[in-house]
Structure 1
Amino acid sequence: MANAAALDLGPDPTLLLVDDDEAFLKRLAKAMEKRGFSVETAGSVEGGKAICTARPPAYAVVDLRLEDGNGLDVVEVLRAQRPEARIVVLTGYGAIATAVAAVKIGATDYLSKPADATDVVNALLAQPDELPPPPENPMSADRVRWEHIQRVYELCDRNVSETARRLSMHRRTLQRILAKRSPR
């Protein structure tokens, strides 16, 4: 699926990339252009919303956390302007709660960074009734546990005491888990 001839982008290959990591944005833009997309980039929520309003693209890849706000605001604007757009939300802070929020708001798929151009293209072009291929590197049991704790923590509005109570866990134990990086 790497070359442009093999991709069926439809009549409108416009793609919006929104990310505040300039180096990543440039690399991904170049890779997506090689695959046949007509790429436009933005480094902020405001820039992404402006492009979505002026020239709504057929495809979009939006980072969840941007310096000036939440990438889901860009997803909402694009979904309002172009309901059939295929949107992938990218983030370095992968948690189940944010994935659910992204899909509920209108994202087609949700990928954790680092995601390469092939992963992004597969997510953008996947058919709704088509099951994605099984992951090459599935989450470990420790990661699944961490994701569950993060989800409950977010649902409790980041209240450590309430999260600990709901998980039947000692508060100090939960604080130690939350202070650590996510397991692989």
Structure 2
Amino acid sequence: MTAFVIVLVLALALLFFLSRKLGDVGRVNMNPWLAGVNDCKYKYAWDGTGIAVDSANGCLHLLARFNGNPVAKTYPLSDVRSWRYEIPELIVERGGGVIGGGLTGASHNLGHGIGQAIANSVRESRVIENTGLYVDVRDIDHPEWFIKFRSRTPHDKATQMELRRWMEILAQHVNG
């Protein structure tokens, strides 16, 4: 019984840690970069990444992290090769498992339920961390840029609509 309590306490501590880390996502101060692209009609910034279309000058401003370091560059629209977005799918456990970190009534083994909760939380965190826009440009050092988009849940419809909006913005500006 003591081992069970220790496992339960450790699992709850891990779950708390993961939820806190997920809650800290997006806390990078974007104001300095946004001030530099203030005149751009279309701009987006989140968690140390950003994109802005400068229609007047025909260029694209990008900000991303490479090897943990922030890099900002400006490219003529003619250097933009392609773009796409990704929202990785979350595998949701069903049938007595745990969905989104809550225990279901059908889960008879508490240890298994906690393990499932942790696994689901880790998967959800990965989905949210990897949701964003990829922009490929003509640049030997930084050919692919990843702009992270804010997503509170793995199936966030508002984020999906924002990504689709950016697909259209880039299509109109790059393709004319």
Q: Same fold (TM over 0.5)?
A: no
* Larger proportion of helix: 1
RCO comparison, higher one (Cα < 8 Å, 6+): 2
Higher-Rg member (1/2): 2
* Larger proportion of strand: 2
